[in-house]
Amino acid sequence: MRYNLCVYTTATMAPTPFKPEDYTNDSRVSYLVAEWQRLTRAELDARELILADPTMVDLAQTELDELDTQKNALVQQIELITKNDEEERELPNELVLEVRAGAGGDEAALFAEEIARMYARYAERQGWTRTTLYESRTSLGGYKEAAYEFHGKGCFEQLRFETGVHRVQRIPATEKQGRIHTSTASVAILPLYKKTKIEVSPTDLEIETSRAGGKGGQNVNKVETAVRIVHKPTGIDVRCTSERSQHQNREKAMLLLLSKLQFAKDEQEAAARAKDRKGQVGTGDRSEKIRTYNFPQDRITDHRIKESWSNIEAVFDGDIGRILAQLQTVDSFEEGENIDA
């Protein structure tokens, strides 16, 4: 059986050559990079000497061998110091989970809230921390949209495949005639990078403030602590109401915006890579239908890998480890196939 699964962060690519010059401004290794650059210039001088004076070949070659040994030692030092950064960039231990109601009106909003609660309870089982960034509710109490920040070892690695459209089939509590309805909610898993190469001009930002409301005392209810930032070139907007001060919410909202911009960039790259990936059928974006929760048949089906599980009630109570583990297994299988191809 061939499985098909996509996630933008794990598509197999040729290893990128390590470039010490990329860390010129990193205070931890800048002095090592400067020395590596000095040796590189000395290496060029030695090669020019060989071309200018053939009688100096032996002497210049000895110098080149010594320079090469020294440069390799420096590269190893720089790589060792920055290795953890690269691992964190690939699979960070912080993320933002966004959930939005889709088709289905009030039932979709109630489903969105249940999906958010499902991940919250799974996070509790894993010992992760969760912070509410914002929640927008309907009159019946469901979520129009909501966002949460997760912190914990392996959180992004485990949840990275959850981005997409989730669908529920059931008889809503508001249904008087016992008919089964289909509703949807979209989920986006946004990795929070400590470092990103995304640059944003202040002139591209529109920043709004408002009263946060809810818990937090008089400060959040009487002072404009809530922050909304719009990136005008892309239309991407973020909000943060979780902190007690406007300054803190602004900082967190800016971090979220940079992560969203990086996420959008990674999605585009993944879509391009998907054309070359063996057995690929999806793009890993938030508009892809990935899973259906069928209550009448007590069945959860992941459409990417064509696998099903039972006991929906347990799953909605946070017992999603078996599903996530299967997705991880399939992804490892696909990576192996792509390497061998």
The pLDDT score that the predictor gives to residue 265 is 81
Asked if residues 35 and 311 have their Cβ atoms less than 8 Å apart, the reply is: no
Q: Where are the beta strands (DSSP E) in the chain?
A: 94-101, 129-137, 143-151, 164-170, 181-191, 205-210, 226-231, 236-240, 289-294, 299-302, 307-309
In order of 138, 168, 189, 217, the CA distances from 182 in angstroms are 18, 6, 23, 40
What parts of the chain have a pLDDT lower than 70?
A: 1-16, 27, 84-90, 194-197, 212-223, 270-286, 332-341
Does some domain include residue 1? Answer: no
- The span from the CA of 284 to the CA of 7, in Å, is 5
pLDDT of residue 333: 55
Q: What is the CATH number of the domain that holds 289?
A: 3.30.70.1660
Q: What is the per-residue pLDDT across 157-183, written as a single tens digit (0 to 9) for each?
A: 999 999 999 999 999 877 778 899 999
Q: Which of 212, 246, 271 is the last residue of a domain?
A: 271
Tokens of 108: 């979709």
**Residue 9: inside a domain, yes or no?**
no
Q: Given 250, 271, 292, which residue is the final one in a domain?
A: 271
Assess if residue 5 is contained within a domain: no
Q: Which domain holds residue 222?
A: 202-271
CATH number, domain at 236? 3.30.160.20
Domain end marker among 89, 118, 139? 89
Considering the domain architecture, whether residues 149 and 239 belong to the same structural domain is answered as no
pLDDT tens readout for residues 20-63: 888 887 767 888 888 999 999 999 988 888 888 888 888 888 88
Residue 79: the pLDDT is 83
Query: Nearest to residue 230, comparing CAs of 194, 212, 203?
Result: 203
pTM: 0.66
Total domain count, the chain: 3
Per DSSP, 41 falls in state H
Q: What is residue 108's predicted lDDT score, i.e. its pLDDT?
A: 93
